[in-house]
Structure 1
Amino acid sequence: MTPDAIDLTLIETLFSRLAEPDSDQVGITRDAYGPGEQRAHELFLETARELGLEIERDAAGNHFAICPGGDRALPAWVIGSHLDSVPQGGNYDGAAGVIAGLAAVAALRSRGITPVRDIIVAAFRAEESTWFPASYLGSRSALGRLDSEELALLRADSGRTLADHMRDCGGDPEAVAAGDNWLGRRTLHGMLELHIEQGPTLETEATALGIVTGIAGSFRYRQARCFGEWGHSGAVAKPYRHDALMAFSEVAMALEARWEALEQAGRRATVTVGQIATPPEQHAFSKIPGEVGFCLDVRSEEPATLKELEEALFEITDRVAKKRGVRFDLGPRSASTPAPMDPTLTARCQAIASELKIAHRRLPSGAGHDAATFANAGIPTQMLFVRNQHGSHNPFEAMRIEDFVEGVRVLAALIQE
């Protein structure tokens, strides 16, 4: 597939229109099961109709645009990603994968190419766990892998349930709870997801595309707390203090040391404390902190590494609690399973990129993606990364359209085989 087979006007128009509703704000906010995500789904449906694709919708409100293949009895390809974003994020995270699917199908149709099998372009809901405290809600619903209890999860900003927000967007949570799903009833040949890289590797190495080898799993504690004892900052000597902030700090630094040791041994992981706060209704300049709230996000491609780090967390909090006379309550736990990519698809994508003379390299994904849902369901899955100049989950996400086109070329070559 040559670059001139890819419709640049279609691509640029879709990215531009996706950004329009939030153009007067800082960054992009396409809230999961809210107005921002809903507008993006309406644009997806409008474009799919213009391309002459068949349209399906499932009970969770995911949308699918189908390009019929030569033999419709064969298992289908799925290409897609999500359309929600983090609050005040960028325009490319997730959406690039959906637009890549539409652009790849449009390229085949413009050349009069009928693929061997159906190609399903998927637009999933609620991938970003910023909104609801669980990963991959839309894609898991699509495959019938959402626990019915998760419909009671509360959205972080509204305090309303996932079921309520799903109904607002035309979904049917009762049907989801009963296991009703359109995509999960189909036999699938494989799943492909294009995404911007969310780190600096490809940009630093001047490489257009990444062929992903695996997606990290995680464990997370979003509402952890350390309880100590409030006291006067000048009146309580060090031996008598039960400082929750210092206790938490000791735990954080001990986890950092364990992470460093793993990295030196060649074992990849990330350990992140994304939020930390003392209660604003009680803290003050001259008070020893008696309570600290924090969250913890630990990721790795290796299940054994995740297990080791979680055991270390328990050991460290126990030790620090006894030493400093504090108490830790880690609160609810959530987790996701590491997802290796399909070796055959990885090799084929590398071969196609080489044939097309596209600069590429293999690399892992430290971030989670909808593709992990498919890989963990036993469906052959592959991700492609497009280099990105300014990180992700911020208003400055960037992506050169010429790099994006290279990714679409690889996808289009693969799905017509």
Structure 2
Amino acid sequence: MIPVQTLLDRLAAIGADPPGITREAFGAGENAAMALMAETARGLGLDCTVDAGASLSMRWAGTDPSAAPILIGSHLDSVVHGGNFDGAAGVVAGLAAIAALQAEGFRPRASIEVLALRCEEAVWFGLGLIGSRSLLGRLPEGALDLPHARGGQRLGECIAACGGDPRALGRPLRDPRRIGAYVELHIEQAPQLVEAGQPVALCLANPGNVRHPHIRITGEDAHTGLPHRFRHDAALAGAELALALERLWLDEEAARRPMAVTIGRFHTLAERHAMTVVPGAFEMSLDLRAYEAAHLAALEAKLHGLVGAVAARRGVAIDLGPRSAAAPGVMDATILGELAAAARQRALAPPRLNSPGSHDANNFAAAGVPTGMLLIRNRNGSHNPDEAMETDDLMAAVGLLTLWLAGRAGH
């Protein structure tokens, strides 16, 4: 077996940025983590290559070159001051499962590849899942011109600097029809497994999302004594829109249509705000997510209705700005059944849960690749310094993955 705990500790050292972990996409942190994974993979005799999107493939060649490969993937970047395990645990798990199979003398018929996919987190370019989008030809138009949050270097330039070829990203780098399956392991992002007392869960679906990272509301600056009927207050318009979105969320949940609304940025302009000025400009961001494509489309239509109503009522202009989207990821029923059977052999009773987060698995599922996910217990959520995955829980998931791979890649 590979030294799983040592790898996790080395990843933590790479990303150390008190009070948490920062592994900047296409930066020193993600690059060093990629190098560590490649070093580990070569120690297992795996072939390491970098694709045109600068993602890393670590391949254990199967005995049948015609067999469709099995992919195990996740990411190594983090949010700013996040935790050590979001994404990275899944890459380590893939290598650990291969090491376990090798220790048992197993030889796969189909090749098994562990993917370390670039820039899953949307904080770096306002667009997430970039490694899997690049691999599957799902980058939106204009994506290569998006500026990095630190320094402003364009995405295409970042990819080229890390060994990729942005000129090749207008089409899929891999034929989805020639991928046997994709499975991703990820820490749980809500305390459902803590509540259930189980180390691992079978994921049913990941939400898709519609994101507007730079919403701009424009009203009129005015004196604080101005009567209400004369005001065009951009801040109050932002507050009204935020509360309207929360009411929509609660109504949808009451109707048993799961979704989520997140407003991560919400502020007047730093160079303009003052205690005695009615703000004429306000900015916010929006992440709107749901588990079914039709539901997500309906929610987006309702968003536009709310925007129009608030703008008219407040006498302001609301520009939603750039839009990005990720398709929902519904997991493959056959893989779910196979993982459940493997869990029974391991004396595990994993619950079946939706994931609150979108992941690279979404893009594989949307491309028609049979896709599955395992969620690992994590007490304190993710995207914060207090991620609390226990290595024993990760190893329980690795054991389940190992058994599943033996069945899938050995047929």
> Is the Cα contact below 8 Å between 1:90 and 1:394 reproduced in 2?
yes
Moved more, 386-395 or 246-255: 246-255
In the TM superposition, residue 159 of structure 1 has moved relative to its aligned partner by 1.0
SS at the partner of 1:46?
Answer: helix
Q: 2:163 aligns with which of 163, 170, 181?
A: 170
CA distance in 2, matches of 1:32, 1:23: 15
Counterparts of 1:13-412 in structure 2, within 5 Å, are 13-23=6-16, 25-147=18-140, 149-177=142-170, 179=171, 181=173, 183-184=174-175, 187-233=178-224, 235-412=225-402
SS at the partner of 1:360?
Answer: coil
CA distance in 2, matches of 1:144, 1:319: 37
Letter in 2 for 1:122: L
CA distance in 1, matches of 2:140, 2:16: 36
CA distance in 1, matches of 2:172, 2:366: 20
Residues 308-334 of structure 1 show CA distances to partners (whole Å, capped at 9, x for unaligned) of 222222222222222221111111111
In the TM superposition, residue 185 of structure 1 has moved relative to its aligned partner by 8.0
In the TM superposition, residue 391 of structure 1 has moved relative to its aligned partner by 0.9
In the TM superposition, residue 175 of structure 1 has moved relative to its aligned partner by 3.1
In the TM superposition, residue 410 of structure 1 has moved relative to its aligned partner by 0.9
In structure 2, relative to structure 1, the CA distance for the partners of 1:296 and 1:145 (3 Å cut) is closer
CA distance in 1, matches of 2:268, 2:30: 33
SS at the partner of 1:193?
Answer: strand
Residues 67-101 of structure 1 show CA distances to partners (whole Å, capped at 9, x for unaligned) of 12232321110012111111111111111111010
CA distance in 2, matches of 1:364, 1:185: 24
CA distance in 1, matches of 2:25, 2:177: 25
> Is the Cα contact below 8 Å between 1:300 and 1:366 reproduced in 2?
no
CA distance in 2, matches of 1:176, 1:410: 34
> Is the Cα contact below 8 Å between 1:255 and 1:312 reproduced in 2?
no
Tell me how large the CA RMSD over aligned residues is: 1.6
In structure 2, relative to structure 1, the CA distance for the partners of 1:280 and 1:23 (3 Å cut) is closer
Letter in 2 for 1:76: P
CA distance in 2, matches of 1:39, 1:294: 33
CA distance in 2, matches of 1:198, 1:393: 9
CA distance in 2, matches of 1:170, 1:99: 22
In structure 2, relative to structure 1, the CA distance for the partners of 1:180 and 1:296 (3 Å cut) is closer
The gaps in structure 1 that reach 5 residues or longer are 1-6
> Is the Cα contact below 8 Å between 1:301 and 1:366 reproduced in 2?
no
Letter in 2 for 1:101: G
CA distance in 2, matches of 1:194, 1:187: 22
In the TM superposition, residue 55 of structure 1 has moved relative to its aligned partner by 1.9
SS at the partner of 2:122?
Answer: coil
In the TM superposition, residue 34 of structure 1 has moved relative to its aligned partner by 1.0
> Is the Cα contact below 8 Å between 1:70 and 1:116 reproduced in 2?
yes
Letter in 1 for 2:328: P
In the TM superposition, residue 139 of structure 1 has moved relative to its aligned partner by 1.3
In the TM superposition, residue 303 of structure 1 has moved relative to its aligned partner by 2.1
Residues 26-70 of structure 1 show CA distances to partners (whole Å, capped at 9, x for unaligned) of 211111111110000100110011111122221221111111223
In the TM superposition, residue 347 of structure 1 has moved relative to its aligned partner by 1.4
CA distance in 2, matches of 1:240, 1:145: 47
CA distance in 1, matches of 2:346, 2:130: 35
In the TM superposition, residue 24 of structure 1 has moved relative to its aligned partner by 5.6
CA distance in 2, matches of 1:237, 1:385: 54
CA distance in 2, matches of 1:377, 1:89: 29
In the TM superposition, residue 239 of structure 1 has moved relative to its aligned partner by 1.8
CA distance in 1, matches of 2:314, 2:176: 55
Identical pairs, percent: 43
Letter in 2 for 1:78: L
CA distance in 2, matches of 1:250, 1:141: 38
The gaps in structure 2 that reach 5 residues or longer are none
Q: Which residue of 2 aligns with 1:4?
A: none
CA distance in 2, matches of 1:161, 1:257: 37
TM-score by length of 2: 0.95
In the TM superposition, residue 279 of structure 1 has moved relative to its aligned partner by 0.9
In the TM superposition, residue 146 of structure 1 has moved relative to its aligned partner by 2.8
In the TM superposition, residue 148 of structure 1 has moved relative to its aligned partner by 6.2
TM-score by length of 1: 0.94
Residues 314-367 of structure 1 show CA distances to partners (whole Å, capped at 9, x for unaligned) of 222222222221111111111111111000101111121122111310011221
SS at the partner of 2:31?
Answer: helix
